[in-house]
Chains A and B, each alone.
Chain A
Amino acid sequence: MKIAVCIKRAADMETRFKIAADGRSIDEAGVKFDIADFDGFAVEAALQLKEKDGTGEVTVISLGKDAVQETLRKALSMGADKAVHLKTDAVPADALAIARVLAAELEGGGYDLMLFGRMAIDAANQSVGPMAAELLGVPCVSAASQLGVAGGRGTARRELEGAAEVLEFPLPAVVTIDEGIARPRLPSLKGIMAAKKKPLEVKPVQVGESRVTVIKMELPPERTGGRIIGEGPDAVPELVRLLQTEAKVL
């Protein structure tokens, strides 16, 4: 079974962000980058499918500048077999433009499964995976919390509000992965050494015109401290009054 996993290099969400001087992006100085959270779950899902199957090959693919090679090597150190760096200096905000580049790489790769994270943890568009499926003309299951393959068909479970559904679909297919699947494994030290010897192919790509542009990025307003208005039951009327008139939440 051949599995491709499209991964994005994204800022570690525990970082304290600053907006860059252009007002439209984050200041990358001192920011730690890693495989975007849901994409890490997708890599883990692919590795588990391969291990269960006993055979197969996991290819990780990432679009971006040279720095994404570090992210690809992290996936190789987790156990992926090979990596493709789709090299470009600027990744646009337009999900369709990104999906076109990834679909062009996936097409003809002979992949049975093409996995994506449910969404990139930074941009949170949830679009690239389904758009790539559309461009490739293959079935798409989004936000799978479980994934299985048997007899050339896939099964996936999706967690819905108050229920879950189980789907079946023919391969090849695109599946976007939710966090329920399994925690991404830690790269072992031997895995880190082995990753250096695995193939990482660099392919310069042209990203098409972006019709969506980020014009402004801002941090959420600073949270102000709480206020103690009194103690015990005596304080309740005043608290209710303030919640109604000042906070306007009641």
Chain B
Amino acid sequence: MTDFYGIDSALSEEERAVRDSVHRFVDERVLPIIGDCYVEGRFPRDLVPELASLGVFGANLPEEYGCAGLNNVSYGLIMQELERGDSGVRSFASVQGALVMYPIFAFGSDEQKRTYLPKMASGEIIGCFGLTEPDYGSNPAGMITMARQQSDGSWVLNGAKMWITNGSTAHVAVVWAKTNGDKDERSIRGFVVPTNTPGFTARDQKGKLSLRASDTSELVMQDVHVAGDAILPKSAGLKSPLMCLTQARYGIAWGSVGAAMACFEEAASYACNRVMFGKPIGAFQLQQARLAEMLTEIVKGQLLTLHLGRLKDAGTMTPQQVSLAKRNNVSMATDVAREARRLLGANGILAEYASMRHMANLESVYTYEGTHDVHTLVLGQAITGLNAFQ
């Protein structure tokens, strides 16, 4: 395990124990199958009950809802280890925990929390999160999905959502919609929509060259009629889904480091074993420079996430700090994955090795949950006080 700076010594015994359990799970259950899943374009659904019994879903939510009640550093380490396996597997856990369980926990009624959270922790209910629309990605405030309240208090939803992780697998969708014809972003509310409601359809998005071991779907809602209590009562405006994204991005900042560690370890091991010109390629200066650069950037990313986690546990973390970590670490991981792939030479293009799979996956991670460019502008605004979006 890549720990050049002895960061383990800055982790508590409990944090290390959590990391070690998920690490071993990924070694034993994810790594042997994930290359085939990726090639076949199939999410390893069999892993869901096992991930649930390990306790990874919503692991930082309270025990009273059947969750593990871990701190945020432990949660981050879980994401790191899962993405060491595959970004698609980590994405599943991020969506289930940070984008569905978290909004139900933060904005839901007591009854919604009791109904959904324990069954989502146990993997009996799988969730998806519908915010992005075909024409509104980086600009969610422009969304056109609309919910209209009927005279009996129930709601009717119309609209379409795109790039929805778990969309075809999910039993329940947290859908964000404007309400009652009001086009202002302040009218946005969250709804918990069972995916078997008439008028709700999910279609698998075909032809992906990235996140192939993950379900990505388009959701269409045509006169989807849900009860009055489907609304998340404490959701209020665009800031509610953005709070969910902050949770998920926090996990991505950790997860991308895991993907980079996997690529680095593969490259380092390959460099020591692959002989060319009569010696291991790791003995050549060009490959040593590559490995030194990769390791340096990984260590920086590890230190960044650990401190971000301590800030989150102290309750002082800001969304802008999360933007910085997501932006840096995912970009770093894409570079590390590409360099690892190159170091592996021709073998690097095979699914038998992990680096090119990670490299292709990370292009999605670079683009989702706030593109790299959007996070650049978030930081620009934090630095100058001037908003470049408008």
- Distance A189 CA – B55 CA, assembled complex (angstroms): 5
Residue of A nearest to B78 (CB): A189
- Distance A196 CA – B15 CA, assembled complex (angstroms): 12
Cβ of B293 < 8 Å from any Cβ of A?
no
Cβ of A149 < 8 Å from any Cβ of B?
no
Which residues of chain B have C-beta atoms less than 8 A from A73's C-beta?
13, 17
- Select which of B18, B24, B53 is within 8 A of A192 by beta carbon: B18
B55 and A190 contacting across the interface, CB-CB below 8 Å: yes
Which residues of chain B have C-beta atoms less than 8 A from A244's C-beta?
none
B55 and A188 contacting across the interface, CB-CB below 8 Å: yes
Which residues of chain A have C-beta atoms less than 8 A from B106's C-beta?
none
Cβ of B69 < 8 Å from any Cβ of A?
yes
A188 and B13 contacting across the interface, CB-CB below 8 Å: no
**Number of residues on chain A facing chain B (CB within 8 A):** 13
Greatest chain A CB density within 10 A among B13, B25, B59, B70 is at B13
**What distance in Å separates the Cβ of A41 from its nearest Cβ neighbour in chain B?**
15
B21 and A192 contacting across the interface, CB-CB below 8 Å: yes
**What distance in Å separates the Cβ of B196 from its nearest Cβ neighbour in chain A?**
30
A193 and B25 contacting across the interface, CB-CB below 8 Å: no
B21 and A193 contacting across the interface, CB-CB below 8 Å: no
- Distance A77 CA – B59 CA, assembled complex (angstroms): 16
**What distance in Å separates the Cβ of B265 from its nearest Cβ neighbour in chain A?**
13
Cβ of B56 < 8 Å from any Cβ of A?
yes
B21 and A189 contacting across the interface, CB-CB below 8 Å: yes
- Distance A193 CA – B59 CA, assembled complex (angstroms): 11
Which residues of chain B have C-beta atoms less than 8 A from A70's C-beta?
13
Which residues of chain B have C-beta atoms less than 8 A from A196's C-beta?
14
Cβ of A9 < 8 Å from any Cβ of B?
no
Q: Which of A144-203 contact B (CB under 8 A)?
A: 186-193, 196
Residue of B nearest to A196 (CB): B14
B25 and A186 contacting across the interface, CB-CB below 8 Å: yes
Cβ of B54 < 8 Å from any Cβ of A?
yes
B69 and A193 contacting across the interface, CB-CB below 8 Å: yes
**What distance in Å separates the Cβ of B91 from its nearest Cβ neighbour in chain A?**
19
- Distance A193 CA – B62 CA, assembled complex (angstroms): 11
Greatest chain B CB density within 10 A among A70, A186, A189, A190 is at A189
Which residues of chain B have C-beta atoms less than 8 A from A191's C-beta?
55
- Distance A187 CA – B14 CA, assembled complex (angstroms): 11
- Distance A155 CA – B78 CA, assembled complex (angstroms): 41
B54 and A193 contacting across the interface, CB-CB below 8 Å: no
Q: Is the interface of A mostly helix, strand, loop or mixed?
A: helix
- Select which of B21, B59, B63 is within 8 A of A187 by beta carbon: B21
**What distance in Å separates the Cβ of A78 from its nearest Cβ neighbour in chain B?**
10
Cβ of B68 < 8 Å from any Cβ of A?
yes
Known: A186-B24, A188-B55. A193 touches B68 (CB 8 A): yes
B13 and A189 contacting across the interface, CB-CB below 8 Å: no
Interface residue range, chain B = 10 to 19
Cβ of A74 < 8 Å from any Cβ of B?
yes
Residue of A nearest to B16 (CB): A70
Which residues of chain B have C-beta atoms less than 8 A from A77's C-beta?
17
- Distance A70 CA – B123 CA, assembled complex (angstroms): 30
Known: A73-B13, A196-B14. A188 touches B63 (CB 8 A): no
**What distance in Å separates the Cβ of A8 from its nearest Cβ neighbour in chain B?**
18
**What distance in Å separates the Cβ of B70 from its nearest Cβ neighbour in chain A?**
6
Q: Which of B1-46 contact A (CB under 8 A)?
A: 13-14, 17-18, 21, 24-25
- Distance A151 CA – B59 CA, assembled complex (angstroms): 42
B17 and A192 contacting across the interface, CB-CB below 8 Å: yes
Task: Please encode chain B, from 158 to 185, with 1 for each CB lying within 8 Å of some chain A CB and 0 for all others.
Answer: 0000000000000000000000000000
A188 and B70 contacting across the interface, CB-CB below 8 Å: no
**What distance in Å separates the Cβ of B292 from its nearest Cβ neighbour in chain A?**
20
A192 and B25 contacting across the interface, CB-CB below 8 Å: no
Task: Please encode chain A, from 55 to 87, with 1 for each CB lying within 8 Å of some chain B CB and 0 for all others.
Answer: 000000000000000100110010000000000
B63 and A190 contacting across the interface, CB-CB below 8 Å: yes
Which residues of chain A have C-beta atoms less than 8 A from B63's C-beta?
190, 193
Task: Please encode chain B, from 273 to 297, with 1 for each CB lying within 8 Å of some chain A CB and 0 for all others.
Answer: 0000000000000000000000000
Task: Please encode chain B, from 55 to 68, with 1 for each CB lying within 8 Å of some chain A CB and 0 for all others.
Answer: 11001000100001
Which residues of chain B have C-beta atoms less than 8 A from A188's C-beta?
21, 53-55, 68
A187 and B17 contacting across the interface, CB-CB below 8 Å: yes
B68 and A190 contacting across the interface, CB-CB below 8 Å: yes
**What distance in Å separates the Cβ of A73 from its nearest Cβ neighbour in chain B?**
7
- Distance A70 CA – B18 CA, assembled complex (angstroms): 13
Other than the known A186-B25, A190-B63, A193-B69, what 12 A-B pairs have Cβ atoms closer than 8 Å? A73-B17, A186-B21, A186-B24, A188-B55, A188-B68, A189-B18, A189-B59, A189-B74, A191-B55, A192-B14, A192-B17, A192-B68
* Closest CB pairs A-B (n = 10): A189-B55, A189-B68, A188-B55, A192-B17, A190-B55, A190-B68, A186-B21, A187-B21, A188-B54, A70-B13
**What are 27 inter-chain pairs, A to B, with CB distance below 8 A?**
A70-B13, A73-B13, A73-B17, A186-B24, A186-B25, A187-B17, A187-B21, A188-B21, A188-B53, A188-B55, A189-B18, A189-B55, A189-B59, A189-B68, A189-B70, A189-B74, A189-B78, A190-B68, A191-B55, A192-B14, A192-B17, A192-B21, A192-B68, A193-B63, A193-B69, A193-B70, A196-B14
